[in-house]
Amino acid sequence: MQNVQRNCPLCGQCDQSSLYAESTLDRKQLTEFSFASRKDPEYMNHRLMLCARCDMLYVSEIAGVSDLSSEYDSAAYDSQVESVYAASTYMRLLLPMFDRLPDRVGALDIGTGDGAFLVELLERGKLTDVVGLEPSTAPIRSADARVQGLIRQAMFVEGLYPSETFSLVTCFQTIEHVDDPAGLCSESLRILKPGGALAIIGHNRRGFLNRILGRKSPIFDIEHLQLFSPESLRRLMQNAGFHSVSVKSFWNTYPVSYWARLFPFPRPIKKAVIGLLRVTGLGRIPLPFPVGNLVAVGHRES
Ligand SMILES: [Zn+2]
């Protein structure tokens, strides 16, 4: 166990940073679901600083952490239905840009979870040589048989793949979780073929709903080591050397019961609402909602 100090993960400095929120972490409240990707919000966060230079909100101190990869290794997993919805939404967003890729050979999905997006890449995207990385055991175990063998249990680190291996690298709902998002981007650039693309999907802390919910937004979470805005996400990719970077917000589609879980109802009310949705079957209805997510795409120079 040790305390880890961090500077702004974009500019690497802290001179322009000011305190945004003190830590509300209560170790006693952590559960095996704390490091799962789609879970009930816990309303806990580490100490947060805001870098005025980069518009970057980041965790400046993590108290009493043993090792991130071991936390994720044993994280519980219960979100297979949602992962299929998410993968379908992401493919709809990205498919129009596939014609710009150098070819359809080689795609890496970082933090692939149960590999739902790998299924999309193979079936709707018509890509070959598709692989995924995922640090947690549980989602890999529940992966679709078509892609389970394509998922490697590992964090994305330097040197895993040779240069110019992939046409597409994707990183969905993961960039907030990694200790070095700038390093993730520069390593992605290295393993992309000329003209290849990196697509990142993450939370928009300046999104309408997140601004309304404030600190009650589920984006304030101990798993998130930084939170991006359109400005800081664009900078992240441009600083790493990506060209023609585009950043857009989009609407997510999930079943009603999923939205109900995220909504900041008081606990007994939430239980009643979710029970009612289950009994009536209304919980299964897909509902698009502007929850405040961003998709950023950047290309390696061809
Ligand atoms: Zn900064």
Q: What is the Å distance from ligand 1's center to 149 Cα?
A: 39
Query: Could you tell me the pTM of the whole model?
Result: 0.86
Contacts of 275 (CB under 8 A, 6+ apart): none
Q: What is the Å distance from ligand 1's center to 49 Cα?
A: 10
Burial readout 132-171 (b: 16 or more C-beta within 10 A, e: otherwise): bbbbbebbbeebeeebeebbeeebbeeeebeeebbbbbbb
Long-range contacts, stretch 95-101, CB < 8 angstroms, 24+ apart = 95/124, 95/125, 97/197, 97/297, 98/125, 98/127, 98/168, 100/195, 100/197, 100/299, 101/167, 101/168, 101/195, 101/196, 101/197
pLDDT at 261 over 60: yes
Q: What is the Å distance from ligand 1's center to 53 Cα?
A: 5
pLDDT of residue 53: 95
The residue with greater pLDDT, 120 or 27, is: 120
Domains of the chain plus CATH, in order, are 2-299 (3.40.50.150)
Rounded CA-CA distance 189/239 in Å is 11
Rounded CA-CA distance 262/254 in Å is 11
Query: Which residue, 278, 235, 232, is CA-closest to 255?
Result: 278
The model's pLDDT over 54-103, given as tens digits with 9 standing for 90+, comes to: 999 999 987 655 556 666 666 655 566 788 889 999 999 999 999 999 99
pLDDT at 219 over 60: yes
Q: What is the Å distance from ligand 1's center to 89 Cα?
A: 31
Q: What is the Å distance from ligand 1's center to 16 Cα?
A: 7
The residue with greater pLDDT, 237 or 71, is: 237
Helix extents (H) in 34-193: 68-73, 80-94, 116-123, 137-141, 181-191
Ligand 1 is an ion; residues with CB less than 5 A from it:
8, 10-11, 51, 53-54
Q: What is the Å distance from ligand 1's center to 230 Cα?
A: 14
Q: What is the Å distance from ligand 1's center to 174 Cα?
A: 20
Are the CB atoms for 222 and 46 separated by under 8 Å? Answer: yes
Residue 58: strand, helix, or coil:
strand
The model's pLDDT over 125-180, given as tens digits with 9 standing for 90+, comes to: 999 999 999 999 999 999 999 999 999 999 999 999 999 999 999 999 999 999 99
Are the CB atoms for 242 and 195 separated by under 8 Å? Answer: no
Q: What is the Å distance from ligand 1's center to 48 Cα?
A: 13
pLDDT of residue 67: 58
Rounded CA-CA distance 287/256 in Å is 6
Rounded CA-CA distance 232/298 in Å is 14
pLDDT of residue 263: 77
* Average pLDDT over every residue of 184-209: 96
Mean pLDDT, all residues of the chain: 88
Q: What is the Å distance from ligand 1's center to 109 Cα?
A: 27
In this prediction, residue 265 has a pLDDT band, given cuts at 50, 70 and 90, of confident
Q: What is the Å distance from ligand 1's center to 6 Cα?
A: 11
pLDDT of residue 33: 55
